[in-house]
Amino acid sequence: MDLIVVNANLYTVSDIKRPKTKDEMIDLHFIENGGFAVKNGVIKDVGKTDEIMKKYFNEACEIIDAKNRAVLPGFVDPHTHAVFLGTRQNEFKMRLEGKTYMEILNAGGGILSTVKKIRQASVDELALSLLERIELFFEWGTTTFEAKSGYGLDFENEIKMLKAIKQVNDAGKAQIIPTFIGAHAVPVEFKNSKEKYIDIIINEMIPYVAENSLAEFIDVFCEEGVYTQKETQRILQAGIENGLKAKMHADEIKAIGCSELADVLDITSCDHLLKITDKGLEAMKNGNSIATLLPGTAFSLKESFAPARKIIDFGIPTAVATDCNPGSSYTESMPMIITLAVLMMDMMPEEAVTSATINAAYAIDKAQTLGSLDVGKQADFVILKDESYLFIPYHYGVNPIWQTYKKGKKVFDASSTDN
């Protein structure tokens, strides 16, 4: 063995081989005074500390004494726009003064302001910025995250963003799940000819992305004033036909029938869902789609939150994500998202943890290797500073992470940052 973790209040969030729903989300599978053994970055054994020590103590390996702290799977963030340059604090002030998200976008701000910066940058510059941001994800306990393109809005720059993600993944330290979202906004140069841009997405971008394995997912911002339900269906269908899995920004600002596509297409997750309808919920349940909720965005935009309680009670599995981006949710902190899920969306703490781990792993189709501390999965885990996961939403506004491990290697240690 390479390392063993002992003396842990261990919450394995055990995988049941499908996304958890309803009461299943409450069971975090607690092992008091638990431990586990790791070899080559993979969990080889899980049990009580005395059992683990008896089996592996004589092996030359590192021993991590959790000292009765809580140990959880590393957080999985299934929806981010983490590849960006620059910030948009002036737009934040504009929103506080009464401007809406769509008003800012239609005036050339929002997504379009970040597009300008992306188009001026090189792949190396984008990769360097992303590498720096990864350290913040690790600091807040996230060991895997999804990242989208969508700030290029033309062939060259959408591909450039995806190549930056690939460059960082190839470096080996991080695990980023790439998503192509050329249909994130309508570029200024196609403001009066959106159909031409859609044709470019379908006939040029998607085939190139798929052929060169630059993304695992395709996504569309399905929203009034952006992409209609019919346009979204056409784009997602093209992605699916090219071997990409589908996600969708749905029902965030207005309900225009986006989530209802889950009953028509194979959509892994529908995200946002602030305005989800009963018809949309029924379609998602029939289509086995995951509801990825982004409370940080509602919080930052001062909007009503997604109806998490209704979604869970409907029998739809939920995941939660940061939506990390420079405009509407500038945070890398999954503990903050868990706190908002509990205090503002009426989720129980256990449901929020499940949504940030195993269900989030299903939302990026990586639950076979991530999201729980089960034998055979990657040794991605966090050790909290306190003895219970309850301290995440309870002691809010502080970082609860003591150490973060990716594939059994320490990538963050709070003690090394203390003064």
Q: Is the pLDDT of residue 343 over 90?
A: yes
Percent of the chain with pLDDT over 70: 99
pLDDT at 419: 44
Tens digits of residue pLDDT in 12-63: 999 999 999 999 999 999 999 999 999 999 999 999 999 999 999 877 789 9
Q: Is the pLDDT of residue 94 over 90?
A: no
Q: Is the pLDDT of residue 279 over 80?
A: yes
Distance CA 220, CA 50 (A): 50
pLDDT at 146: 98
Percent of the chain with pLDDT over 90: 90
Distance CA 221, CA 234 (A): 13
Q: Which CATH number fits domain 3-74+372-416: 2.30.40.10, 3.30.465.10, 3.40.50.970, 2.60.40.1250?
A: 2.30.40.10
Q: How confident is the model at residue 417 (pLDDT cuts 50, 70, 90)?
A: low
Sign of the dihedral defined by the CA atoms of residues 297, 298, 299, 303, in that order: positive
Residue 38, SS3 per DSSP: strand
CB atoms near residue 88 (< 10 Å): 22
Tens digits of residue pLDDT in 291-323: 999 999 999 999 999 999 999 999 999 999 999
Mean pLDDT over residues 156-175, rounded? 96
Tens digits of residue pLDDT in 105-140: 777 778 888 999 999 999 999 999 999 999 999 999
> Is there a common fold for 3-74+372-416 and 76-363?
no
pLDDT at 105: 77
pTM score, two decimals?
0.96
| Burial of residue 409 (number of CB atoms within 10 Å: 0-12, 13-18, 19+) | middle
106 vs 417 pLDDT, higher one: 106
Beta strand extents in 20-152 (DSSP E only): 30-39, 42-48, 62-65, 70-73, 75-77, 142-148
Tens digits of residue pLDDT in 225-276: 999 999 999 999 999 999 999 999 999 999 999 999 999 999 999 999 999 9
Least confident of 5-14, 86-95, 347-356: 86-95
Q: How confident is the model at residue 418 (pLDDT cuts 50, 70, 90)?
A: low
Q: Is the pLDDT of residue 103 over 90?
A: no
CB atoms near residue 229 (< 10 Å): 18
| Burial of residue 413 (number of CB atoms within 10 Å: 0-12, 13-18, 19+) | middle
Mean pLDDT, the chain, rounded, equals: 96
Asked: is 76-363 a CATH 3.20.20.140 domain? The reply is: yes
Which residue, among 269, 279, 366, has the nearest Cα to 318 in the 3D structure?
269
Q: Where are the domains of the chain?
A: 3-74+372-416, 76-363
